[in-house]
Amino acid sequence: MSDDKTDEAAVRELAQAYYDTMVAADEAGMRRVFDARAPIVGHFDGEFLWQSLDEFIAEAREVVGKHGKEERRIERVDIHGDTALAVVGGRYAELWFEDQLAMVKVDGAWRVVAKTFWVKPGA
């Protein structure tokens, strides 16, 4: 079993890879970050969305290059055993999103198993 600092570094690295692959619409990268069954859930434009990973990848392709200044911040990381939560703020589709990435460590590697999000008003 790895130590807490190693796990925190790995979770932060996965959170960074999440944002980088999402804004680049890097399908292979997104599939490495997410478990194939991961839901993507939140409200956007007044609608409640519950997307599959395939739907999220298709959306990322539609908005690639339309984010404005690409920036992200890892707001928080909480690790409890083999589960983690990373909160990532970042610009996507010209809006500021705060994404909560639920992660599980499987066979020694962290994977995102669910993403919830919200759009920060006025950001």
Range of the domain at 8: 4-119
* CATH number of the CATH domain containing 83: 3.10.450.50
Q: Tokens 């992200």 appear where?
A: 72
- Angle made by CA atoms 100, 103, 109, in degrees to the nearest 5: 145
The pLDDT of residue 55 is 97
Give the separation between CA 72 and CA 94, rounded to whole angstroms: 13
The total number of structural domains that make up the chain:
1
For 70-121, write each residue's pLDDT tens digit.
899 999 999 999 999 999 999 999 999 999 999 999 999 999 999 999 998 8
Confidence check: pLDDT of 122 > 80: no
Give the separation between CA 100 and CA 78, rounded to whole angstroms: 11
The pLDDT of residue 1 is 43
Distance of CA 53 to the CA centre of its chain: 11
For 18-74, write each residue's pLDDT tens digit.
999 999 999 999 999 999 999 999 998 889 999 999 999 999 999 998 888 889 999
Written as one string, the DSSP assignment of the chain is: ---HHHHHHHHHHHHHHHHHHHHTT-HHHHHHHB-TT--EEEEETTEEEEE-HHHHHHHHHHHTT-SSS--EEEEEEEEETTEEEEEEEEEETTEEEEEEEEEEEETTEEEEEEEEEEEPTT-
Confidence check: pLDDT of 123 > 80: no
